[in-house]
Structure 1
Amino acid sequence: MALLDRNFNLSQRMVQELGRTIICGEFTDNGLPTEAELCEKFGVSRSAVREAVKMLSAKGLVSSKPRQGIRVLPEDQWNIFDPDLLRWMLESKPTLSVLKEFLQVRIAIEPEAAALAARYADPGKVDQIEKALERMRKAPDNSPEDLEADIAFHVSILYASNNRFYIRLRDFISTALRVSISHTSPIKGNHEGIVEDHAKVLNAIKNRNAERAKHSMLLLIDEALNFIEDSIAAGK
């Protein structure tokens, strides 16, 4: 019987376990075990299995139809902006190609968010960005505190944009950062330089210079993207 996380109810525990295995590609034949087999595997009732399948279906991972059983859907149908899927992708040690795609999305979103923050952020939201930067400045290089402060900096800018759609991308951006920073920061190896690059974004926002804020954020992410592309080219 699988060991399930006690922080979730039975169906939610199954979703966590099955979701991770699907993301990791364990079910390569596109089929999941039958309801009866899942009941046996996880020691749960059929109703718990069916509820779990509904949750996985809502995430675009599986479909369940009469005579077809429970099928794993193609990856292009997965709701990859779902926070659970993002976390499972992180836990499955994503490839450099996935990191590159993360950064490509970030580069399409965050520079404009920074420009909007320069135009529309109220003083309280600018203060949140500045507090995150100060946490980065004080944190030991490549420490958990440094990582969390860096994430808080970028998420604070999404909130400061005052754009509800950008704000809703906070989980995606947080996960993308959590993965990419852990790969690129050790390569760059210059904590002070990283902090100062972030300070350029903050200063542009504080000075209400939208174009400079956009450009500074673009350079920040583009540098990380270059590191990833160099690693891919080197076959790492």
Structure 2
Amino acid sequence: MDFGSSLGPIRPRRSGRLGDTVVTYLVDRIVSADYPVDSALPTEPELCEEFGVSRTVVRESIKLLEEKGLVRATPGRGTRVLEPPGWNLLDPIVLEAQIRHDRELKILDDLISVRAALESDMAAATARTIKAPQQQELADQLDVLADLLDDAGAYAAEDVAFHELIMVASGNRLGHAIIHSIHSKARLSSRYNGTPTRADQEQSMAEHRQIEALIRAGDADGVAVLMRTHIVGSWNRRRPEVHRSLTALPTVE
């Protein structure tokens, strides 16, 4: 990958900004297997030459890669790529790269499983503890969604807002933070968003109404089951078919 031709000529900037750019490129190359597991990254002088940065920037970038679990720098062996199970998928740069190079959609499938588990639990908690003002916000959000059935982009954004209201009302701040982080990165992928039809929107709307009704009724068990069904079912409807012959995927630009 030609760093200069992709990003244009490097201009003097703060080393932190340059370091962020170097890290993003190296993460992409590791996740895409341009640098396979147990292979050595280029040497410091080689990276300095390629990216037009100082040794200080390169060393800081390598430290960041180590913190993300992608590499280990060892005297005498250089900086070598580690096995994927140790990579920090909650790191936004790593997660974005994984989604970008996820040929068989395994990461997105896993993301849906995590999201369904956490959100079903949070929906149940919300049904047990929701206050009247929060219940009214949820009902009002249904009206917003109903007005946007013919606008897929706007509907998707307000769909996220509907789920956010439930998570906030649950009081589970950690669960909310995890879902907010991973879902925001997934939504950057066109393969995650799909191209929902009007029928898909209407089914989604009907399920949202059922979820709101179960929360209002205080049915924690019922809404937990429905939330899981809703999230998994929505993904299955929009999940693109995986072609084994797929070879080219987007790279960092």
In structure 2, what is the equivalent of residue 47 of structure 1? 56
Q: Shift of the alpha carbon at 1:141?
A: 5.1
What residue identity is the alignment partner of 1:28?
P
Looking at structure 2, the residues matched to 142 and 65 of structure 1 have their Cα atoms a distance apart, in angstroms, of 53
1:133·1:149 contact (CA, 8 Å) conserved in 2? no
From the superposition, tell whether residues 132 and 46 of structure 1 become closer, same or farther in structure 2 (CA, over 3 Å). Answer: farther
1:125·1:159 contact (CA, 8 Å) conserved in 2? no
Task: Say if 2:35 is the partner of 1:34.
Answer: no
Q: Counterparts in 2 of 1:1-236, with a 5 A limit?
A: 2-3=3-4, 4=7, 9-28=17-36, 30-126=39-135, 129-130=138-139, 132-139=141-148, 143-169=152-178, 170-176=180-186, 179=189, 181-183=192-194, 186=196, 189-224=199-234, 226-227=236-237, 231=241
Structure 1: runs of 5+ lacking an equivalent: none
The structure having more radius of gyration, on CA atoms, is 2
What residue identity is the alignment partner of 1:219?
T
Give the CA RMSD over aligned residues. 3.3
Q: Shift of the alpha carbon at 1:84?
A: 2.1
Looking at structure 1, the residues matched to 33 and 139 of structure 2 have their Cα atoms a distance apart, in angstroms, of 41
1:111·1:218 contact (CA, 8 Å) conserved in 2? yes
Looking at structure 2, the residues matched to 222 and 120 of structure 1 have their Cα atoms a distance apart, in angstroms, of 25
Structure 2: runs of 5+ lacking an equivalent: 247-253
What TM-score comes out, normalization by structure 1 length?
0.82
Looking at structure 1, the residues matched to 138 and 188 of structure 2 have their Cα atoms a distance apart, in angstroms, of 18
Alignment size in residue pairs:
235
Q: Shift of the alpha carbon at 1:178?
A: 5.6
Which stretch has the larger CA shift, 15-24 or 173-182?
173-182
Q: Which has the higher helix share?
A: 1
Looking at structure 1, the residues matched to 182 and 141 of structure 2 have their Cα atoms a distance apart, in angstroms, of 19
From the superposition, tell whether residues 233 and 71 of structure 1 become closer, same or farther in structure 2 (CA, over 3 Å). Answer: closer
1:100·1:229 contact (CA, 8 Å) conserved in 2? no
Identity of aligned residues (%): 29
Looking at structure 1, the residues matched to 138 and 51 of structure 2 have their Cα atoms a distance apart, in angstroms, of 45
Looking at structure 2, the residues matched to 88 and 67 of structure 1 have their Cα atoms a distance apart, in angstroms, of 29
Q: Shift of the alpha carbon at 1:160?
A: 2.1
What residue identity is the alignment partner of 1:211?
D
Secondary structure (helix, strand or coil) at the match of 2:108 reads helix
From the superposition, tell whether residues 128 and 177 of structure 1 become closer, same or farther in structure 2 (CA, over 3 Å). Answer: farther
Looking at structure 1, the residues matched to 208 and 193 of structure 2 have their Cα atoms a distance apart, in angstroms, of 17
What residue identity is the alignment partner of 2:3?
A
What residue identity is the alignment partner of 2:17?
N
